[in-house]
Structures are given as structure tokens and as C-alpha cells.
Amino acid sequence: MRLLTLSDWLEWQQTLHPSAIDLGLLRIQRTLDRLGWRRPGCPVITVGGTNGKGSCVALLSTILSEAGYRVATFTSPHLVRYNERITVAGYEVSDASLIAAFERIDAARGSDTLTFFEFNALAALLIFETAAPDVIVLEVGMGGRLDATNVVDADVALVTSIALDHCEWLGVDTETIGREKAGIFRAGKPAIFGSMQMPESIAESAAATGADVMRLGSDFNYARSDKTWTWQGRHSHFDDLPVPALNGDVQFDNASAVLMVVETLSQRLPVTRGAVERGLRRVQLTGRFQRIAGRIEWILDVAHNPAAARTLASQLAARRTDGRTIAVCGILGDKDVEGIAAELRSSFDQWIVAGLQGPRAIAPASLAQRLTDVGINVSANAPDIATACARANAIALDGETVVVFGSFLAVAPALVWLSNQQHAEE
């Protein structure tokens, strides 16, 4: 099958498989076998977990790039352009490269009806095969054990955190979810856990697999001072490090886990202190407590589960502001709306609810009602994020703050709206 544009391919992929999510490795493994694909010779780092994956991938890729390595990354979902999902040496892949990969995959898949994400992961692996990077960083899409990225044996596996999310697929408690996330561990390889609270299932899974588990707070740790921080690993130590450029206290957990990954690969990928410092200072990540200054300050955060909402609430509480903080809230219908609301109940002076796009979206009136039922005073609802942003912009006074949160599908259109506003004002 030959389609003309990247948009054509992406639209077709979303209709090929009967289910949007169908966890399992058999289809993707069969396709790779038909393609004659072989595991990369360079180190592969797989990053899983509930929250913090994107931050850890950004920290890893920035530090390793500053050390002079060509880093390839596969992440999901994208915010504005599909090409964001696959990068090599800091550059998004071209439409032409993606289409060429999709054509090879379609020719090799036989009767297998791959999901959209499986097409994504396969394209990344084919592109990386040609690009021959020094190191590959794969972000798990959902879970770990049955996620498409787990078709590759990782040299180092990092699980950032465990919290309740995607419960219909991964389990209804953190022990069950932890077991699924730990499915990316491999025998004899480092398995790093990047949060202080580790479910027993993580340790049990590492022991059963034969992985070398390393836990924040015991195998590696950090201490903060006013303007710097200190990190201690198993075999290395850094004093007076610069604070990570990503916002929020949780980024010290994320950066600590990333430095443990760097330590485990030090024989194959040596990294200097200078590269670590530059990476910490220069790292950027769109949509994670991203602050945009102006007449009013905009904060964009993809927080879409209670644990992430708790982090967002903490970050907002740490700010000093005299004016109101206005929420533009867009949450998918299958998320824990009530749990998210409970964490952010006292963070906002005014709530504007917005509709999102896609099959998992719910009507803004339904979202507003669910929030109202748990005591949130919703002042308005809008059919989409752009309309909600316009309303927030109209009522916000100079020096006040608007926070867009709840989903990647909320932050992405907010970024487009803000960009259009900026161009209109120039």
C-alpha cells in the first residue's frame, strides 16, 4: 500500500487495527523478523513508569548529547507534530524518512493489523537502524511488559515512578501496575527505580528476572542546598551541581535516576562533569510546568492523573503571586477526574472546563458536572481548548496566571493558540 503524505499514513494507521490499544509483542516481533531487523549494537536505555518519563528522557538525551554522543529518542505522544516522536542528534525525523519506514513496515507486516503505536515504534527502530546513533533512548508508551518498546532488550531500564493510571489495562493497585512496569527489566542488567516509594513488586520482579535493581534513597541519593545539590551513586559522586532547568522538586528525583543511568553506562559512554552540568542547565521539555511570560503568565502542564496533579499543585503552591490563578482544564473521560480535582481543589481561583478531541473525550458539560459533583466551582465550559484559552485570556488581569492542564490533548492546542496569539500581536 502506498499513500502520498505523512498525514495520509497516520490517518490510515489509526483505522488498521480494530482496537486503539492492544498490548502484546507478537505482531511487532513477527514484523521485525520479516524485515530482518537486528538489535542495535549501541546501548539502549528504556524509560518506563507512570509519571516523569518525558523529563527523564529529556535529561538523558541532553546530558548525553552534551557529552558528544549522537542520541536517538523515541517518545510519545507528540504535542504538535508527529515527527516529535522520533529524533536523532536533536533533530526530528523528516516526513520522507517516516513514509519510507511506513512503506517497509506495511510491506512486511503480512496479515498482522498493527496498532498506531506499533507502527510508531517499528518506524523508530528502522530509522535508528539506518541512522546508527551512539545511544538509543526508548520511552515506554503504556505499562512495560507488553508495550511495543519492550521488543528491544534494554541495556539499562529505568522505571521513574508508580502511580494509578491506565488502570483498565495495567491493574487497579500500585503493586500490580509496578509488576507490569518492571517487565522492561532484563537479567544481569541495571534496573533503576527513580522514586522514594517503591512497590514490593518492583523488587520481586527484579529478583525473578535477575536484574540488578538500584533504588533512589538506598543505592543512590541526593541532598539539596540553597542553590545547588549533591548526588551520590554507587561508584561516583557529584558536589555542587546546578539545579535542573525543569521546574519542580520532583526533577531532583528524575535527575538523580538519570545520573544513575549515566553511571551504569560509564564504561561504554563516559560522561564528564561538564557535560552533566551543561545538560542540567540546558534541558528543556515542552508541556511540563512550562511557563510562558507575558501580560499574564501561562503555565502548561500535561498532568493527567492524581499523582501528576499532586505535583502540579505543589509547584503552584511554591510560586509567589498576588493575583488570581485561573484553570483551563481538559481531561479525558477515562481518567480519574475526581482524583485529579481533589489534588488541585485549592490551587485555582476560577475553573474553565474545555472539551478535547478524540474517542476518549467527553462533553465539556459532562466534565464540568463531574467536577461540580466533587465541590469544584466551574465558572464556564468551552467546546475546545482554544475557546477556553481565549476566555481565560479575556478575564485575566495583568500579573495573573492561567494554567492549562489535564492532558497532552489540552496542552497541544493551547500551544497552537498561544503561538497564534503571539503572531497576531507582532
Question: Hey, what's the cell of 314?
Answer: 505543589
Query: What predicted TM-score, i.e. pTM, was given to this entire model?
Result: 0.94
Please, what is the end-to-end C-alpha distance for the chain in angstroms? 45
**289, 373, 307: which is closest to 338 by C-alpha?**
373
Q: What are phi and psi of 66, to 5 degrees?
A: -65, -25
Per the listing, cell 475526581 goes with 338
Spatial distance between the Cα atoms of 35 and 260, rounded to a whole number of angstroms: 34
Pairing of the two strands 135-139 and 71-74 = parallel
Pairing of the two strands 401-405 and 325-329 = parallel
Map residue 31 onto helix, strand or coil: helix
Spatial distance between the Cα atoms of 205 and 424, rounded to a whole number of angstroms: 54
For CA atoms 99, 105, 108, 113, the dihedral sign is negative
**382, 394, 201: which is closest to 296 by C-alpha?**
394
Spatial distance between the Cα atoms of 277 and 280, rounded to a whole number of angstroms: 5
Q: What are the C-alpha distances in Å from 297 to residues 112, 354, 403, 421?
A: 48, 19, 8, 14
Report helix angle 250-264 to 273-282, nearest 10.
150
Paired residues of 401 in beta bridges = 297, 325
**88, 202, 85, 209: which is closest to 149 by C-alpha?**
85
pLDDT of residue 421: 86
Pairing of the two strands 290-292 and 297-301 = antiparallel
CA angle 359, 361, 367 (to 5 degrees): 160
| Number of residues that this document lists for the chain | 426
pLDDT tens-digit series, residues 82-137: 999 999 999 999 999 999 999 999 999 999 999 999 999 999 999 999 999 999 99
Domains of the chain by range and CATH?
A: 6-282 (3.40.1190.10), 290-425 (3.90.190.20)
Name 293's Cβ contacts closer than 8 Å, sequence gap at least 6: none
pLDDT of residue 425: 67
Cβ proximity of 146 and 23 under 8 Å:
yes
Name 146's Cβ contacts closer than 8 Å, sequence gap at least 6: 23, 24, 25, 180, 183
Residues of the chain with pLDDT under 70: 1-3, 423, 425-426
